[in-house]
């Protein structure tokens, strides 16, 4: 039993070698090409990532009617922003929904079963979101979890926890920070973090 949790000293080197071997064999056998994995990774550098979500939130901050449309029909509202990359309704974004923080409500998105995440607006999930400790604890004690992220939510604010257990990929519209009046959308977008768009943080201050 005590040996079960042992990892070899060269744990990472072994995994690196194994995945390289797998990739090599799959290329040789014609399953994928030598460019396939990099093709995938490039999509998450250039097309699907938090840079999209930040622009969407910035627009919601400057345009309350857009924010309302985003809450009512996220895909349609996102499609209004014609200079976003292709694929905003693509993989893991086919059915996205946005919930807004503010007016006595703080939203937190989790996936207790796995790690469902809105790829087009936020890219790939960070380690904390995929961590079974986070996934488990957030379902019962979200305020304590948020405290560990450095966020205190007053008891008078309702905490809504959204478990992404079917087709919806949730994200949060964080509150616009104080002291940001007159900032451009580009400047506002720089304040929006992936953590703020999942509800474990507020947007950065100006």
Partner 1 sequence: MKLQHYLGGLEGLGPITVETRVFVEEWEKRIFGIHTAMMALSPQLPLPATPSAFRTVWTWAHLRTGAEGLNPFDYFKYRYYEKWLGGISGYFIENGYITEEELEARTAEYLADPDKPLPQGGAPEIDQRVERYLAEGDSPKRDVAILPDFQEGDTVQVRNVPTLEHTRLPGFLRNHSGVVETVYPGAYGYLTDTGTDGVGAPMPVYCVRFEAKDLWPGNTEPNVTLYADLYAAYVTKPTA
Residue positions annotated with a catalytic role: 111, 114-116
Out of 33, 46, 68, 184, name the contact with partner 1 by CB under 8 A: 33
Give least dist CB 163 to partner 1, A: 4
| Stretch (H or E) spanning 12 | helix 11-28
Binding to partner 1 in span 130-169, by CB under 8 A: 130-137, 139-145, 148-149, 155-168
Contact stretch for partner 1 (CB under 8 A) within 39-47, 62-70, 76-84, 174-182 = 39-47
Residue 112 near partner 1 by CB under 8 A: yes
The alpha-helical segments, DSSP class H, found in 93-164 are: 119-122, 127-130, 132-137, 142-148
Q: Is 93 in the site for partner 1 (CB under 8 A)?
A: yes
73 interacts with partner 1 by CB under 8 A:
no
Residue 66 in contact with partner 1, rule: CB under 8 A: no
Binding test (CB under 8 A) with partner 1, winner from 32, 76, 79, 81: 32
CA distance 201 to 192: 10
Q: Find the binder of partner 1 among 66, 95, 151, 177 (CB under 8 A).
A: 95
For every residue of 175-199, DSSP letters joined together read PPPTT-TT--HHHHHTT--TTTTTT
Contacting partner 1 within 181-200 (CB under 8 A): 194-195
Is residue 81 within the footprint of partner 1 (CB under 8 A)? no
CA atoms within 13 A on the CB side of 158: 8
**Is 200 within 8 Å of 151 (Cβ atoms)?**
yes
Residue 66: count other Cβ atoms within 10 Å of its Cβ: 16
Query: Which window, 29-37, 61-69, 173-181, 182-190, contacts partner 1 (CB under 8 A)?
Result: 29-37
Tokens for 133?
């400790």
Contact between 138 and 145 under an 8 Å Cβ cutoff? The reply is yes
Residues that constitute the known binding site? 111, 114-116
């Amino acid at each position: 039993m005590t040996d079960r949790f042992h990892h070899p000293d060269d744990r990472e080197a072994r995994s690196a070698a194994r995945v390289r071997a797998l990739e090599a064999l799959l290329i040789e056998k014609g399953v994928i090409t030598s460019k396939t994995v990099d093709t995938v990774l490039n999509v998450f550098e250039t097309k699907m990532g938090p840079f999209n979500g930040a622009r969407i939130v910035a627009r919601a901050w400057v345009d309350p009617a857009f924010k309302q449309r985003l809450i009512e029909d996220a895909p349609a509202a996102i499609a209004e922003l014609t200079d976003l990359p292709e694929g905003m309704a693509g993989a893991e974004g086919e059915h996205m929904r946005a919930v807004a923080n503010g007016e006595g409500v703080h939203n937190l998105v989790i996936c207790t079963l796995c790690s469902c995440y809105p790829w087009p607006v936020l890219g790939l999930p960070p380690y904390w979101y995929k961590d079974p400790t986070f996934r488990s604890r957030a379902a019962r004690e979200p305020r304590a979890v948020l405290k560990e992220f450095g966020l205190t939510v007053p008891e008078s604010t309702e905490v809504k926890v959204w478990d992404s257990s079917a087709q919806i990929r949730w994200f949060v519209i964080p509150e616009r920070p104080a002291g940001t009046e007159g900032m451009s959308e580009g400047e506002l977008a720089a304040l929006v973090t992936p953590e703020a768009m999942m509800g474990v943080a507020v947007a950065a201050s100006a």
